[in-house]
Structure 1
């Protein structure tokens, strides 16, 4: 059924009345979203142009959502808002930021002085014109037989007043010119002195910059050397030289959780050696498993590393390796052993820092670790490796 809209008189379906009143009716009332006053829909845009709560944006400082009624106060305090140069009366039409007015005046002092001089000359010409007009009137006054009745004495009085005003202005501007001349001289001297100081400062900065760069390079070299030295010291403190190494892993619960969430899935042990000048090796462990053992087993691998004496050793590496997860009650160690596949790249002489790891992805079920706490005590577990030295 069609019914007329009470506002715009358009015929609409009764079921669409609410929708029409809220969304379509050209005579519907809306609340201004800023000041909350009600207006008819056709007038809402015009209201935005005068709404005291309408959000304004300062083009100077970029601040947004300043109510229109508060915008004049913001302009007074914002150093970035542009205002007319105070020499606008003599012809400078520049708009400058409030906090840069002094800089503008210093920069264009000579230009301002010229505009003031032009203004004074213009006013002087006006004064001369008035004097000539006074002379003409005086001549007319003395020659005209009807002067007393024809000359408007009030005009003469007005001209006299204008002359006096112009004379005062001329005197004021002459004083201004003198002051500006002195300021120009002071500014010129200050600029010259500043230029000397600036050049000296630039030379000093350039010298200091070169020294800083040199010190940075030296510091970087020292930091690299220090890091290498610290690494060697740590390795020498933790390393063994008999093919047997026990790796103590602390903070087990946290490291296991890091492995589960993928933050740190694998860890490397400190290096160990078969002898002082023998093979360099380390272990790699995945506390949440790797490959086929991911999520179900602890994975343990053996890694051959590049050492300083590799040129003296026999390759490929061919020593039996025994891996152990120690039962801290010394009863039920988890043990696995293997003899290297001499055709595998994992046991050839390393050409990078370390070869591809080789070992046991299914070394120990995680359920076994969780069920028996003798492998993990005080949040610490121990892994042992034994390299058979036979034939070396």
Structure 2
């Protein structure tokens, strides 16, 4: 006597059908001899292929679409498994009903004749087929459940990663803004320090003392032609007055070239020039300070109405003053100490009293 099983081809067709397996298809399929390995392999390959194709890689598609598709497959498998269990219970109920009917009536009907081992075997095969099918569905459902759990974890990790990246980008932007603000503050502080230093070193009363350091080196550079002239910091005749500076030619200029210190006054452009009287006609006195005996050497001059003393139209006017301010030969041999510790001091005094024009 041969043992009969559901045809694997029916199950394969069910598996390949759109929308999944029809609940009653396997139960109503023809019974054949036990299928060989190829049939079972084809059925499993189809099931595995469907479940594999139904999933989307997180690397190739949106995690949300992948989750929704796997969730639909999970529901489908649960529904199929539930219906498979119902089929198994229905088979047992049918067998019990038939047996009870035959025992009670003593008649087997359906043309089957007396209750035989063949009838029991047929029912057993049908039950076994349902059990096998249910086992396959249970295994697939377990695998899908684990995949859904893993996918859920990956989706949650991906979402947390996305939020973290957005937070990092926001913090980087805020940090960049803070760095920009700090840089602007540094520039402002530097500018204020420069202004403060300039204010501390700027005179606003028409009198200014210019300290010249490294004087011996300056003299040597001027004599060798490396340096022609040097200028002092600017100073003012009063808080809103003329802006001026001194210009020294250490080896002389013009009539004093090579023999004298030449010292000139330079009229600089100032922000209050529109308030002042032009040309600049105030008396100017230059004093070379003796650092030991205070035997200072001084010379003065009075400006005339010429271009160097008119209102500047550029940053500065042409220098004008004393080409023969002090003889170079007497700078360090006259018994006076004009250079000490390699420093020399020159004072400018502007007569700020009102002048007649």
What's the TM-score once normalised by structure 2's chain length? Answer: 0.46
What's the TM-score once normalised by structure 1's chain length? Answer: 0.42
Greater RCO, 1 or 2 (C-alpha within 8 Å, sep 6+): 2
